[in-house]
Structure 1
């Protein structure tokens, strides 16, 4: 997976990816309008499509990704925007967790790539402060693809993982959204 995203890094900020990231960012801002004192972890944040707008408002943002070339693109953009409150980490948090905890964790279009959902949700729970909020944006599962999620199942997994106040909404639908199949982009939020 690392090689796949390193290969795509320079072209990742396509109009489609930028549009979907903006939808996610805008909805997070609606739900958390004041980010000024918040610490944020963008898990698998890639080229910073969500990280950089968040950094303009948040106290600090940590972008973690396994693909160093994606992080290079994020660093270039952060430098151009003169953003100083960012930390970039090339790291697999499942293998090497952080000691820090965060007010918000953002996981946008990443979770469907990870093999162990329970372990991943436990990692997020451990990295959230009490009353911290997790935002998961991903694709709905369709009959044509084994990737993605059935929202009700994900919500139940979050409940089983110790999260509460779980809410989901559809942000966008398209006939060719995910792997050229019909799907929906959803956003699920949950609190620790």
Structure 2
């Protein structure tokens, strides 16, 4: 997945107050879309240090924390161990390089992960394969932002174009909305965040 090397370097200082706040808001937004999740499995995709997933652990029967960065996985393993959490697992894996054939889940959520992925359509297709029938992919990310110019991340996403791409892959009942506006939250620029829910 994109920028793994950068995340490797910042893993142990990743949990800033701003990131913790964004994770809390994102978790609350995701929670609104959960149905009967207590009996369901989830994947925190591109979990980083698990800021979002840790907020949602009690909402699911089980959770897999998945990231491409070994140092990030080390951080989340430490949290799991410190809190003696039983219903979770971790996996260091790069979905851009290969598909996941033996892992399945009812819910997959990814928060500010898509903007780091070079081949968006490929990864969304592979996530479709990971979802159980009737399962949901929940994406939280930035809306397209002309002021953000970067060669390492996308400058956000157009919700309509993203919905079209996902419908083409096979997702159904795709719905999205902007739920947060913040100052200087995206590469130093004012930006807004959306949540998108898609079903297999």
TM-score range, shorter chain: over 0.9
Residue 138 of structure 2 is aligned to residue 153 of structure 1? no
- Identify which of 127, 130, 136 aligns with 1:127: 130
Evaluate the alpha carbon distance shift between residue 56 and residue 81 of structure 1 in structure 2; reply closer, same or farther with a 3 A threshold: farther
Residue equivalent to 1:171:
179
Tell me the matched-pair count: 192
Q: Counterparts of 1:1-192 in structure 2 under 5 Å?
A: 1-32=3-34, 34-98=36-100, 99-146=102-149, 147-192=155-200
Which consecutive segments of 4 or more residues in structure 1 shift more than 4 A? Answer: none
Query: In the aligned structure 2, how far is the partner of 1:19 from the partner of 1:48?
Result: 13
SS in 2 for 1:94: coil
Deviates further, 141-150 or 131-140: 141-150
Name the CA distance, whole Å, in 2 between partners of 1:91 and 1:168. 28
1:87-125 CA-to-partner distances (Å, cap 9, x unmatched) read: 111111232332222100111101011111111110111
The DSSP-based 3-state class of the residue aligned with 2:64 is strand
Contact 2:136 2:198 in 1 (8 A): yes
Q: SS state of the match for residue 39, structure 2?
A: coil
Output the CA distance in 2 between the equivalents of 1:8 and 1:57. 28
What residue ranges of structure 2 are gaps of 5+ in the alignment? 150-154
Secondary structure of 2:76's counterpart equals: helix
Instruction: Report the alpha carbon displacement of residue 158 of structure 1 after superposing the two structures with TM.
Output: 1.1
The CA distance in 2 between the partners of 1:44 and 1:81, in whole Å, is 21
Aligned-partner SS, 1:56 = helix
Write out per-residue CA displacement over residues 136-175 of structure 1, whole angstroms, 9 at most, x where no aligned residue: 0111111112521111111111111111111112221123
